[in-house]
Chain A
Amino acid sequence: MKYLGNIFLFIVLIILFLFDLKIWDNEVSNFLFWEFRFPRVMGAVITGIGLSFSGLLMQTLFRNPLAGPYLIGISPGATFGMALFIFLSGTFSLSFEISPIWGSTIGAFSALGLQLLINRGFGHTHRLLLTGLVLGFLFSAATELMQYFGSNEQLREFTFWGMGNFERIEMTHLFSMSSPVFFGIILIYSFRNSLDCYLLGDEYAQASGVSPVKIKNLLIWTGAIIAGWLTAYAGPIGFIGLVGPHIAKRLYKTEKHSKILLPTILWGGILAVGADCIAHYSIPGILLPINPISSLIGAPILILSFIRKQK
């Protein structure tokens, strides 16, 4: 019953956005609905849920409410992978086809692989943080270099991808987008009590029979796969991963995973659909990019929350 308000808001927003009456005014509406409206709104929901969930995992990993996938270099890695795909496609002729989705995912995994190689595991969170910072700079520098040498079309493609949008999500993408999110949530939910122990410190976790190293591996791999995978489809979308869990924790005044998991993913979905709604309807007929909008929504929420906390 506690979550009823969140669930209600979530469902109402999706229904309103899916079925606004304008789309039903001509004979092509059926085609437009199933080819564009439905995959876009559902893509936004899945992306929001996944990013918010991934943000929660990173916040748990670092025991820090300001953590997100960008901190350990996942987001810059995914962006680098996509840049590699866009700017080098056509330069080398490959005997097999690489989808842009794989470009971004491979980039995210490269960041993780480098973390693993440099730190010989994910045991020390402060080293993960520092390495993530350096990797972020490295990937950004490589991406900028590729942009410098890219053609106008490649630059345009990359810039639009970097601004984030749900328009390019197709019906056939929804299953592959939702699979890692669905399994990730089930997996993490089954470890909810161990995660709560981990939050209290490595020593406490060990004393409770929870292996901090195993938990760190679980959090990093699950968070990275989901963030890297979804970034490939929707582009890098900021703040949802940060704000979704933050709202859930503020509303329920707890960090217990069994309590905040559901509101975290619901609020991720609400924020993403809300951002997409603003992108479509703030200037009628003109599509605005998602990334700046999600930041414009997310940043004030966080600032307001900090101000209230200080009081």
Chain B
Amino acid sequence: MGIYGCQYKSEGRDKVNINWKNNKYSELFKIGYNETDTLLKVFFSDGKELATYHMGKNPGLFPSSIKIKSNNRRIAVSSSIFLRFLTELNSENSIVAIDNLNFVHSTLKGYLNNPIEIQPSGELQLEELIKSEPNIFCAYTLNAEGIPAFSRLYKQNITVLYIQNHQENHPLARSEWIKVFGLITNKLNIATQIFNRVDSVYLSHLKKITPHKKTIMINAPYSGNWMVPNRNNYLSHLLNDANLNCIWQDENLNEQQLTYTIPLEIAFKCLLQADIWLNIGSYSDLDKLLKNEPRIESVLNSNDKIKIFQNNKQQEESGANSYWDLGSIHPEILLNDLINIGQGKFDSLYFYQQFR
């Protein structure tokens, strides 16, 4: 990990030297420090700065930054992914509020100390959040328009920390955000060790790849709309790393958006040629999918070699599925599944189950 220096200019004061650490994958946050202070910068996916946070002894030197206390004992989170990050760092006891307990996998629920639900119906309930008295609220935003909604929290001395790992396009970049959680819980070294382990296992999986490439189709239609990821999307990175050929990307379509809707004609043409079909929407079994889109039956009859997998092996009745949170922090498990699917080893899959 490289370190480079730069000068942080504070208003009306001398310039302060900050050493910024280079991340290995993530481009949406960076951590910098000097002897007494630590800074964290968070960015939007287009590179624009979202916020700068300060931890340390000299807040006056960084007047435009948002202060984070060094010892955060009370943390609120707006996603089960953030809860998983904190659990990895054994900091689950500090969680006082969570978005929706239905989305928390049962393997995590046991660690929690009765947190308040702040988004039970999807909309954030600020009153409940404030009642839980957190020092810090880990949230995400899609764009700058989402920021003013949280301005009232600052008046209550609640720091809103933007966790933008969902906007990272590389699987390991998403995982690298554990360092940010390490920073706010004073466990940066442990977080770095965990990430390095994830990184090395991920890279070791890449060595298992065989030259034979299987073609793959993903997703399922919603009301006649079939969405697929572009080449730069997080999922495409994983599929390419697993040596799977994303067949819709051979169609030379316009790929400006990270995910885009393709006509059913093209989607079914891809499905007819694919060896593997992954992540079939939110369907819990094949019958439900066929009931909703009967034309798939004809495809399955024409393409009898196709194997279908759904990412719901870890899904519980409440809807919680560790594919989303554990898979985000441990992409090496996800990659291992995808490589095994590509190589026809279906017995030891962790997130996926075979439908056909």
Contacts and interface: CB of A to CB of B under 8 A. Distances in A.
A3 to B, nearest CB: 32
B265 A286 contact: no
A165 interface: yes
Nearest to B294: A170
B272 interface: yes
B269 interface: yes
Contacts of A16: none
A156 B262 contact: no
B261 interface: yes
Nearest to B273: A28
Contacts of A285: 251-254, 262-263, 266
A151 interface: yes
B348 interface: no
Interface in A226-282: 235, 280
Contacts of B265: 23, 32, 36-37
Given A148-B122, A151-B319, A157 B223 contact: yes
Contacts of B224: 160, 165-169
A80 B251 CA distance: 38
Interface residues of A, number: 32
A120 B142 CA distance: 50
Contacts of A284: 253-254
Contacts of B150: none
Contacts of B260: 286
A250 to B, nearest CB: 33
Interface of B: 121-123, 221-225, 251-254, 260-266, 268-269, 272-273, 281-282, 294-295, 298, 302, 319
B254 A157 contact: no
Contacts of B281: 153
B295 A170 contact: yes
14 contacts: A32-B265, A36-B265, A40-B264, A149-B121, A149-B122, A156-B222, A157-B223, A161-B223, A165-B223, A165-B224, A167-B263, A167-B264, A285-B263, A287-B262
Nearest to A160: B223
Contact of A283 (B123, B225, B254, B294): B254
A156 B259 CA distance: 14
A82 to B, nearest CB: 10
A31 interface: yes
A283 B255 CA distance: 10
Contacts of B263: 36, 167, 280, 285, 287
Contacts of B273: 28
Interface in A66-80: none
A28 B319 contact: no
Given A36-B268, A287-B262, A167 B302 contact: no
Given A167-B263, A286-B262, A32 B123 contact: no
Contact of B121 (A40, A148, A158, A161): A148
A153 B222 CA distance: 9
The 10 closest A-B pairs by CB, nearest first: A285-B253, A167-B224, A168-B224, A160-B223, A153-B282, A161-B223, A160-B225, A36-B265, A287-B261, A287-B263
Contacts of B223: 157-158, 160-161, 165, 168, 235
A35 interface: yes
Interface string A22-33: 010010100110
A97 B317 CA distance: 23
Nearest to B123: A148
Residue from A160, A280, A287 whose CB has the most chain B CB atoms within 10 Å: A287
Contacts of A37: 265
Nearest to A169: B224
Given A36-B265, A148-B123, A160-B222, A286 B282 contact: no
Nearest to A28: B272
Given A153-B282, A165-B223, A285-B254, A35 B295 contact: yes
A170 B294 CA distance: 9
Interface in A31-47: 31-32, 35-37, 40
Contacts of A156: 222
Contacts of A165: 223-225
B278 to A, nearest CB: 17
A16 to B, nearest CB: 16
Contacts of B251: 285
Contacts of B254: 283-286
Nearest to A27: B272
Nearest to B295: A35
Nearest to A165: B224
Contacts of B253: 284-286
Nearest to B223: A160
A296 B3 CA distance: 53
A37 B224 CA distance: 13
A210 B266 CA distance: 53
B246 to A, nearest CB: 14
Interface in A139-181: 148-149, 151, 153, 156-158, 160-161, 165-170
Contacts of A286: 253-254, 260-262
A292 to B, nearest CB: 13
A288 B121 CA distance: 30
Contacts of A40: 264
